[in-house]
Amino acid sequence: MLELDKRTDRILPNGWCLLPPRQACDKGNACLTCDKFATDASFLPELRTQQHHTLQLIDERRQAFAARTGQEMSPDNVWLAGRTQEHDALGRIIDTLEQTGHRTDSDGRAVRGAGVAARTDALAAEHEQERRP
């Protein structure tokens, strides 16, 4: 963690990027579902705020889409699928931090890759849809 303080590009508003210093990130803003993302309970307020804002953004964009097109945005819409995945990842991260935060043996340790399950669940569902005739 001391080394991360020297790397401002690895300090995020909701955690840290644990990508090795000589590697570059090609994921853009997909930190929540990256296995190199780590966070701890000190970021819970920011994570909760981010989850709330993500849900607000989803609601606003769905309403705008319906007003513009007269149809509901389908769940397989690329933008909606990405935001839903982010919201799910945030929920899993928050749940994990809340669960580990109540255990006396955790001492507030960082949780690494807590949102990865949201990415793998979404990929598994996508592959399952492709297999169906």
What is the secondary structure of 50-96 as a DSSP string? HHHHHHHHHHHHHHHHHHHHSSPPPTT-HHHHHHHHHHHHHHHHHHH
Q: Indicate whether this model's pTM tops 0.85.
A: no
- What percentage of the chain reaches a pLDDT higher than 90? 35
AA letter at 46 = E
Whether 36 and 16 have beta carbons less than 8 Å apart is answered as no
Separation between Cα atoms, residue 119 and residue 34, nearest integer Å: 8
List the one residue out of 133, 34, 51 whose CA is nearest residue 59.
Answer: 51
- What percentage of the chain reaches a pLDDT higher than 70? 68
